[in-house]
Chains A and B, each alone.
Chain A
């Protein structure tokens, strides 16, 4: 009865596949000594990106249903139609096509996919195209970047505008690997690279933007709770890629945002440790 064994093996794909996902998503249980909590998306501190998490869950639910149907059919087919010594001599069905079936399994997935495509456009636009605005003198104006972050092998340089309130002037203040942003209001950053490609990424805020030498880009987000976040590099930038990171502090009063910064050359920060490896 080997065919039963294979059918059971294939039935494990939907059972374990969906089962583990559900356990991970609700954050409970353990499997073979490994805890399944803390395996889903990390906590999201960015209200702009709540919709990203929503999409993540929605697509997983849709895909989970499709996975369940198709792989269960696969396991059933092996269970029911496998040839084995005890099987009757019923012949395989001589069926070559069915136009109605083809239409059904083309049209339904097409409708779902097209829906997903258009449904997510707004989320994409909110996070990548429509820079947050503020009211200035009674009319809306795109928020100017509060700091410039420059990626280089292997760390991040943060520049704040000095007393003149403008970036790119001689009174800019620089600090390495430490960014401080205010809590509860939109933050716009200018991101650049000095040598090779890097990627400015904060998983806890769902922010990611490759920084390209020769290009200037903007990222925006909002942090709702005070705390510390890790800024990681997510584009291969050389041997030290794995340790290229900075710390972002979200503080509750805006006045603190620029205090503590001076013309610091290089504080002994995270990216230096372990450099001998």
Chain B
């Protein structure tokens, strides 16, 4: 199935992106020292060291790979594709061919990104945000030549893929629900996928247009983002007339909603796992839906908080600050509702559930540091420091990625018909949870010192030399964090062969995917379905069983 294809390719890129991060950490802890194992092979010319050009490329590609090849495709592409038809009781997506095309459009993107490594100048090196003029002018950076063009090409293909996906998700959810599956009987995962798909469909065209403008600046000699009179690397002044800030507005108009595209599906899946594993109805179903809708709505008018010190008119910054600080509210409401769901439940501490609980803790930290940054005056100091790095890794790694891994443990029995090892899974959770904090928590203190992002070497700067022991500690933890993922890889592939067979409904959950055989055959369900109730009827008083499947036709409290 296409969902599984998306899952496997995203996980492979996850590993590549993780190794890039490890290489960056090597350089930061022991600048300009020979990298073990890979160093002599990758950097023969530099005597086994990472060069500053290569470091900047790693920064760029780690971000690009993690955002565009891992988080977005694994949430929408993998889990969206897999769970939407199963959870709404449909036999397939509305447009199966479009669905396949959306996966195969990822491949030109993969190829472009791979080729850009081989292009002159070590690959694109203008950050995942690709701010012009650095990204546009070949003279400005060695990687801003062919490599940057390939990067932009790859991004366009990712955009096309996401667009095809989101049209398909919206249509499927609106049109193909089983009889009786009203909107307010949808599981939160489906609500999240629907809202995410709408966000994608509205925000993505802006990014695509901006990317095409940047390609035109590079290849056709237009000057959308190039101002008058630039003097780069002692070359003659350029003609111009463009505006460098325009790119930032267009880019963040997409990429801020993209933050929620990377978060909402995880919140949806967390809600489903938390409710079923607490054996308790989800607390505040409707407030949960409304808070997601308001995150999506506000998400469109907060992009300027990435640009508080960019040179944008400070009065506009003040307006963006007020909207930004408000978006913390719906996220808070969701957290409180999750805690209320857990309260008074009967928690089944499976590996999937532990990852969800870990997610709540990490999301609280990431969300609260977000409040700090929403205060524009404080951001004058914190902007582009490690405080920001800590913040978005807590949200995207501690938050989304923990849910992604937890969801793999939770839905693996459905995907492959076998259970994953709980012992290995719990060991994996424990080590990952501890090490994530070892890696990212100290970054708050680095940021409080004003340590800048994207520096290849801090020993060079008087103000930050004393922080080097912390950088070394983070690096050791990061290596260990990448290392323990081997346990997960072994568990993932080993369980396909040796896992205990899972029945249709190993977690005794309510939603429709647990009606289908594991793994679901072509067409998903063996018989037509009818939905009689909402997805969270757990521990209904008077019933012998503590769950009540959505399809169960008995009306009395048998």
Contacts and interface: CB of A to CB of B under 8 A. Distances in A.
Interface of A: 2-3, 6, 9-10, 13, 16-17, 20-21, 24, 32-34, 38-42, 49, 51-52, 55-56, 59-60, 62-63, 66-67, 70-71, 73-74, 77-78, 81-83, 87, 90-98, 101-102, 105-106, 109-110, 113-114, 116-117, 120-121, 123-125, 127-129, 152-153, 194-197, 199, 201, 203-204, 206-215, 217, 230, 232-243, 245, 274, 277
Contact of B309 (A6, A33, A34, A210): A210
Nearest to B237: A194
A91 to B, nearest CB: 5
A39 to B, nearest CB: 4
20 contacts: A9-B430, A33-B469, A34-B473, A73-B343, A77-B342, A81-B347, A83-B279, A91-B539, A93-B539, A94-B538, A105-B333, A105-B336, A110-B329, A113-B329, A116-B325, A120-B378, A195-B231, A206-B381, A241-B56, A243-B457
Contacts of B137: 195-196
B519 interface: no
Interface in B352-396: 354, 357-358, 360-361, 364-365, 368-369, 371-372, 375-378, 380-381, 383-385
B346 A117 contact: no
Contacts of A124: 314, 317-318, 321, 376-377, 380
B53 interface: yes
A19 B131 CA distance: 39
B375 A109 contact: no
Contacts of A206: 380-381
B547 to A, nearest CB: 10
Given A60-B372, A74-B360, A210-B309, A97 B140 contact: no
Interface stretch (B194-202, B448-456, B521-529): B448-456
Contacts of B458: 242
Contacts of A81: 278, 342-347
Given A9-B433, A91-B539, A242-B458, 15 more contacts: A39-B449, A40-B449, A74-B357, A74-B360, A74-B361, A77-B345, A92-B279, A96-B284, A97-B283, A101-B336, A102-B284, A152-B231, A196-B133, A210-B309, A238-B56
Interface string B279-306: 1111111110000000000000000000
B357 A10 contact: yes
A221 to B, nearest CB: 11
B140 A196 contact: yes
B244 interface: yes
A27 B229 CA distance: 48
Interface residues of B, number: 117
Contacts of B337: 102
A143 to B, nearest CB: 17
Interface string B39-73: 00000000000011101100100000000000000
Interface in B243-269: 243-245
A1 to B, nearest CB: 12
A123 B541 CA distance: 55
B450 A96 contact: no
The listed residue with most A CB atoms (<10 A of its CB), out of B229, B337, B360, B385, is B360
B539 A106 contact: no
Given A82-B347, A116-B325, A39 B448 contact: yes
A49 B133 CA distance: 31
A6 B125 contact: no
A101 B286 CA distance: 14
The listed residue with most A CB atoms (<10 A of its CB), out of B32, B325, B333, B470, is B325
Contact of B244 (A82, A197, A236): A197
Contact of B375 (A40, A59, A94): A59
B310 interface: yes
A213 B134 CA distance: 11
Given A67-B365, A232-B461, A40 B371 contact: no
The listed residue with most B CB atoms (<10 A of its CB), out of A90, A94, A95, is A94
Contact of A242 (B52, B245, B314, B541): B52
A236 B329 contact: no
A114 B327 CA distance: 11
A232 B345 contact: no
B140 A70 contact: no
Given A6-B349, A94-B540, A97-B286, A52 B377 contact: yes
A49 B381 CA distance: 9
The listed residue with most A CB atoms (<10 A of its CB), out of B228, B279, B361, B457, is B361
Nearest to A102: B287
B322 A117 contact: yes
Given A63-B372, A212-B310, A236 B283 contact: no
Interface string B114-136: 00000000000111000101100
B229 A214 contact: yes
A59 B367 CA distance: 13
A208 B364 contact: no
Given A10-B361, A39-B448, A124-B314, A214 B244 contact: yes
B283 A209 contact: no
A55 B318 contact: no
B349 A277 contact: no
B383 to A, nearest CB: 6
Contacts of A214: 227-230, 240, 243-244
A78 B314 contact: no
B493 to A, nearest CB: 26
A94 B314 contact: no
B339 interface: yes
Contacts of A95: 280-281, 283, 340, 344
Interface string B302-332: 0000000111001101100110011011001
Contacts of B430: 9
A74 B340 CA distance: 10
A120 B333 contact: no
Contact of B454 (A9, A10, A195, A236): A236
Contacts of A211: 311
Contacts of A21: 444
A203 B140 contact: no
